[in-house]
Amino acid sequence: MTKVLSLNVNGFRAASRKGLVDWLLQETFDIVCLQEVKAEESQVDLTQIQQAGYHVLWNSAQKKGYSGVAIFSKEKPIRFNSDFDSNFDTHEGRLLFAQFSNFNLINVYMPSGSSGDQRQAFKLKWLERFNQHLKNILTENTIICGDFNIAHRSIDLHNPALSPKTPGTTPEERKYFDNMLEKGLIDSYRTTHADAIQYTWWSYRATAKQRNKGWRLDYQLISKQMKARIVSSQVLDTVEVSDHCPILLKLK
């Protein structure tokens, strides 16, 4: 069985101070996908991670303390890269692609758009480019993990009556999500929990976590041909090292 974990850590160093590395070392994951690491690889201590048998891939943003993604894997990747092409998102550290023996993996931290109209426009353009590239690289064995910064359906946020102009809920963003599924992907969590009320992110403000006023922003999409391999898809909402919680996919 293969265990694939995904988590937006909201700063690797901050999450480590809250027990992230200790928790990872207590568990038996095959692949760990992290988003929003907010650091360069040289700025963090990965000794324990590497001693535990993980190979490390790291893609940091040019802007200090911003964005960035990482993959820790027990299997050494056959090949990997940090961008779909030389012109795609080369400065914000939002992608890592890795090929393993049984599947291809994309770890993604999609833009938020919540800071203003300019960033929302960037997000929509980014999503368009991402979808264009997907059609060229999807195989029958592909996993896409990460923080999508999109609540795909009304069930995926605590207040579905929000304005349709709210970043993360706009019709345009949800359409891009639909387009990913139409290319032959399935939402592993919704495949096994069709109508579950479950979130993966809660604001630090107004005791949102305690009141479960959250959004489901983190996903593990897989090729539809892999559906029979799903053992379970879980949201680990009792693990509190970030404003997001981990999600875990187990595959045969």
Distance CA 21, CA 191 (A): 30
Which residues are within 8 A (CB) of 51 and not within 5 positions of it... i.e. 6 or more apart? none
Which residues are within 8 A (CB) of 156 and not within 5 positions of it... i.e. 6 or more apart? 199, 215, 216, 217
Q: What backbone torsions phi and psi does residue 48 show, to the nearest 5 degrees?
A: -65, -40
Instruction: Specify the pLDDT at position 89.
Output: 67
Establish whether 243 is a catalytic residue: no
Instruction: Specify the pLDDT at position 91.
Output: 86
Q: Mean pLDDT of residues grouped by 10 in the chain (252 residues)?
A: 98 97 96 97 96 97 94 96 71 94 96 86 92 89 98 94 88 96 96 95 90 96 97 97 98 95
Q: Which domains does the chain have, with CATH numbers?
A: 2-251 (3.60.10.10)
Structure tokens at 68: 């960035």
Structure tokens at 76: 């050494």
* Contact yes or no for 241/15 (Cβ under 8 A): yes
Distance CA 14, CA 248 (A): 21
* Contact yes or no for 83/95 (Cβ under 8 A): yes
Neighbours of 246 (CB within 10 A): 27
Strands 247-251 and 185-187: unpaired
Which segments of 61-170 does DSSP mark as H helices, in order?
117-137
Instruction: Specify the pLDDT at position 174.
Output: 97
Instruction: Specify the pLDDT at position 87.
Output: 64
Which segments of the chain does DSSP mark as H helices, in order?
12-17, 20-26, 47-51, 117-137, 171-182, 188-192
* Contact yes or no for 31/37 (Cβ under 8 A): no
Instruction: Specify the pLDDT at position 85.
Output: 65
Distance CA 138, CA 98 (A): 12
For the entire predicted model, the pTM comes to 0.96
Residue of 147, 156, 218, 243 marked active site: 147
